């Protein structure tokens, strides 16, 4: 029961508390001028259970639960905008004769401020922060953590030009972007340094960045969100090669089936030459863990309860 509360109920209650602001806009007064903020959000809880008992064809009983929250706060007038998006996710998986395992874990905050200087063009500054809530393991090895809060953590800051021909599409280009990788746990750094040098806890890089963001509703019941971030460090040898670029592409498709039932599909692709994916190989009859640079891909599909405001 303690494990159930710590890893399922507690994260769910946390996200619910963050979602209690259920109004769509708020007007405040700044320097005798009215400033209107618009708030929106989506909270969902998906479940998937398979149960077998004396099933002749075979199979494995399992249970999966994922909690997700997408919260937005935006202000925009004729030539100024300030956008904030917080994406929180936590998922658990329990298969027969296996311990409770983490299936999803995400903290992702993006803030962007801009001032228009020509039609559809803005001078902009953007910040993005990514990490996870709790320890992660490279299963079936559940004795050595390969990630935890701020190990790793990623902070990207950038200034540039934002081209926004429509409300649902943004193309942001930054010739000067800083990318900071944090590994604040030495045991995890010993397994995968994420490019951070030995005895250090942070890697700082300066480079160019392009970010494309698409967010649109279709027929009121279908919403497609897709974002691609490309970063290339100026100090990398052979920086012109795409293999030295950091690529982060995520697409989410939500289907609103009823007022409180939703289906969602997630596709996430990561290429980062600083990250070594833990793999195992047999040497002299002994299985050892090594790291290899690989393309990371994740796909999920869920059906469950949802609440939007």
Task: Kindly state whether residue 252 falls inside one of the protein's structural domains.
Answer: yes
Residue 153 belongs to domain with CATH number? 2.40.160
Task: Kindly state whether residue 38 falls inside one of the protein's structural domains.
Answer: no
Task: Kindly state whether residue 146 falls inside one of the protein's structural domains.
Answer: yes
Q: 98-109 burial string, b = 16+ CB within 10 Å, else e?
A: eeebbebbbbbb
Pair 118, 250: CB distance under 8 Å: no
Task: Kindly state whether residue 4 falls inside one of the protein's structural domains.
Answer: no
Tell me how many degrees the CA angle 109-269-176 measures, rounded to the nearest 5: 55
Task: Kindly state whether residue 6 falls inside one of the protein's structural domains.
Answer: no
CA 146 to chain centre: 17
Task: Kindly state whether residue 53 falls inside one of the protein's structural domains.
Answer: no
Per-residue tens of pLDDT for the chain, all 309 residues: 344 344 444 444 444 444 444 334 454 454 444 558 999 998 999 988 888 877 777 788 888 999 999 999 999 888 899 999 999 999 999 988 788 999 999 999 999 999 999 999 999 999 999 999 999 998 878 888 989 999 999 999 999 999 999 999 999 999 999 999 999 998 898 877 788 988 889 999 999 999 999 999 998 889 999 999 999 998 876 655 556 789 999 999 999 999 899 998 999 999 998 887 766 666 666 655 566 778 899 988 888 999 888
Task: Kindly state whether residue 83 falls inside one of the protein's structural domains.
Answer: yes
Burial class for 69, CB neighbours closer than 10 Å (0-12, 13-18, 19+):
buried
Report the relative pairing of strands 261-271 and 296-308 from DSSP bridges. antiparallel
Domain count, the chain: 1
Task: Kindly state whether residue 48 falls inside one of the protein's structural domains.
Answer: no
Domain range enclosing 155:
70-92+103-308
């Amino acid at each position: 029961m303690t494990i159930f509360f710590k890893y399922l109920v507690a994260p769910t209650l946390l996200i619910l508390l963050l979602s209690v602001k259920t109004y769509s806009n708020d007007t405040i007064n700044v320097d005798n001028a009215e400033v209107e903020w618009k708030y929106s959000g989506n909270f969902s809880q998906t479940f998937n259970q398979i149960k077998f008992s004396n099933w002749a064809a075979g199979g494995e009983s399992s249970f999966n639960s994922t909690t997700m929250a997408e919260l937005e706060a935006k202000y925009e007038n004729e030539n100024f905008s300030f956008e904030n998006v917080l994406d929180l996710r936590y998922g658990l998986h329990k298969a027969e004769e296996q311990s409770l395992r983490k299936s999803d874990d995400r903290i992702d905050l993006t803030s962007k401020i801009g001032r228009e200087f020509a039609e559809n063009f803005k001078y902009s500054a953007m910040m993005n922060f990514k990490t996870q809530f709790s320890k992660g393991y490279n299963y079936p090895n559940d004795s050595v953590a390969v990630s935890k809060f701020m190990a790793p953590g990623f902070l990207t800051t950038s200034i540039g030009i934002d081209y926004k021909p429509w409300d649902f599409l943004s193309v942001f280009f930054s010739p000067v972007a800083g990318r900071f990788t944090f590994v604040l746990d030495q045991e995890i750094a010993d397994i995968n340094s994420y490019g951070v040098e030995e005895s250090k806890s942070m890697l700082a890089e300066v480079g160019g960045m392009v970010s494309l963001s698409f967010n649109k509703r279709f027929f009121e019941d279908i919403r497609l969100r897709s974002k691609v971030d490309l970063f290339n460090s100026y100090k990398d040898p052979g920086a012109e090669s795409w293999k030295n670029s950091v690529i982060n592409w995520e697409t989410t498709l939500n289907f609103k089936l009823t007022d409180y039932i939703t289906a969602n599909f997630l596709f996430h692709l990561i290429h980062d030459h600083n990250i070594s994916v833990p793999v195992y190989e047999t040497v002299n009859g002994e299985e050892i863990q090594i790291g290899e640079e690989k393309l990371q891909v994740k796909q999920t599909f869920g059906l469950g309860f949802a609440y939007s405001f």
